[in-house]
Structure 1
Amino acid sequence: MRKFKFFTNFDKEESWLTDMARQGYRFTKKTAFGYEFKPERSENSTIKMDYRIFKKREDFDDYCSLFADSGWEHITGTKSSGYQYFKKKGTQGSEEIFSDVDSRAGRYKRLSNMWAMLACSFILVLAALISTDAIDLEALLDPKLLYYTPGLWDLNGVAFWRAFLFETPFALGRGFMWILLPFIIMIYLYFAFKANKQYKRTQEDKLTHK
């Protein structure tokens, strides 16, 4: 079974996954657009998550082993996926996967940095397209420039509409697909802001409970 959801808050995501386990759905894999589950008996388990990317496979294996020694089973996640999911094994030990607030907050900081890096990469792509004239800004004011069919605007009747409708999808692709880039950049920056805000909030909780 697949569920399509997106979270920017780890605590809410953990709570939802734990609730799904109690409803009889075992979480098996996170995909780009959601989550995969397998029907199983209801399980009163606690699911927690971290965000961490590893350069070496050995470091990733040591990371999983460290949590396993603390009573947490690694459910899904790879060394380069970032998102790491764990399930508490047995009833002993702490209900929290992190031993201190700094570790708990650090996952938000790493997530914020990831979104910010993605935004910067798309900004560079957009800048490169503009600097190489791959983006025709004049076409925003005069869309006719996007149509390459010779004599198109001199045609009449059925001949005009046949040529116009045939080329329009290509013209839109040439002239306006790049407009998606600023939207993607804004979305990534928003996610980076949300994660950084949650990082600061978690750090503030540490000061409040001192």
Structure 2
Amino acid sequence: MTVKKFKFFLASDLEKEEQWLTEMSRNGLHFTKYRLGMYYFEEDPNHSYVYQIDFRDADEDYFQLYKDSGWENIESFIGKFHYFRMPADQENIKKIYSDRESVKEAFQRMSQFYLIIFIAMIGCQAGLVATWKGYVFQIVAASLVGLVFILYLYVFYTLKRKIDYYK
């Protein structure tokens, strides 16, 4: 049976997301798909998995490295966030990219990716500013853009802290 759960994680919270997915698996719900905050799980109380998420562009060699290390590829979201799992009863479960430099590089890639989206978002708002008449719709749109702007600043702040931590 498929179970859907909505949960929101910021990009800088990969570790929390991994822990949550692993905990859900311990409770018999195993992650199968992700779509914009909606997680899909298959119910099976007979298994338990440990999850790992990585952020990068991927090719066949990348997926083969994980497969050779015992990790099963479950999902890739927007071609950047890759979800893997391994049975929890395996001995010596180790992350593939767990050294400080690799973790720092992942957060740097994430920061660059979101910076490009942020700049595009700001550029797209030029029309809102250029045609400003103070209509209710414009005020609502500007408020929503302001909230997203603040959210992006928070993500950049947390990513910067993580990058600095792994230096």
Percent sequence identity over aligned pairs: 29
Residue 86 of structure 2 corresponds to: 88
Equivalent AA in structure 1 for residue 153 of structure 2: L
Deviation at 1:15, TM superposition (A): 1.1
Residue 143 of structure 1 corresponds to: none
Equivalent AA in structure 2 for residue 91 of structure 1: Q
5 Å-filtered alignment, 1:60-139, equals 61-78=60-77, 80-88=78-86, 91-92=90-91, 94-130=93-129, 133-136=130-133, 139=134
Question: Bigger radius of gyration, 1 or 2?
Answer: 1
Equivalent AA in structure 1 for residue 56 of structure 2: R
- Superimposed CA distance per residue, residues 61-111 of structure 1 (whole angstroms, 9 cap, x where no aligned partner): 322112101111111115x33211111257255422325221123222222
Asked if 2 retains the 8 angstrom alpha-carbon contact of 1:47 and 1:85, the reply is yes
What RMSD, in angstroms, separates the aligned Cα atoms of the two structures? 2.2
5 Å-filtered alignment, 1:1-210, equals 1-8=3-10, 9-54=13-58, 59=59, 61-78=60-77, 80-88=78-86, 91-92=90-91, 94-130=93-129, 133-136=130-133, 139=134, 146=135, 172-173=136-137, 175-179=138-142, 180-201=144-165, 203-204=166-167
Deviation at 1:39, TM superposition (A): 0.6
Using structure 1 for the length normalisation, give the TM-score: 0.68
Q: Which runs of 5+ in 2 are unaligned?
A: none
Equivalent AA in structure 2 for residue 23 of structure 1: N
Number of equivalences: 161
Equivalent AA in structure 2 for residue 134 of structure 1: T
Q: Which runs of 5+ in 1 are unaligned?
A: 140-145, 147-171, 205-210
Give the distance between the partners of 2:57 and 2:95, measured in 1 at CA.
Answer: 21
Runs of 4+ in 1 over 3 A off after TM superposition: none
- Superimposed CA distance per residue, residues 135-157 of structure 1 (whole angstroms, 9 cap, x where no aligned partner): 22xx3xxxxxx5xxxxxxxxxxx
SS of aligned partner of 1:38: strand
Larger helix proportion of the pair:
1
Deviation at 1:20, TM superposition (A): 0.8
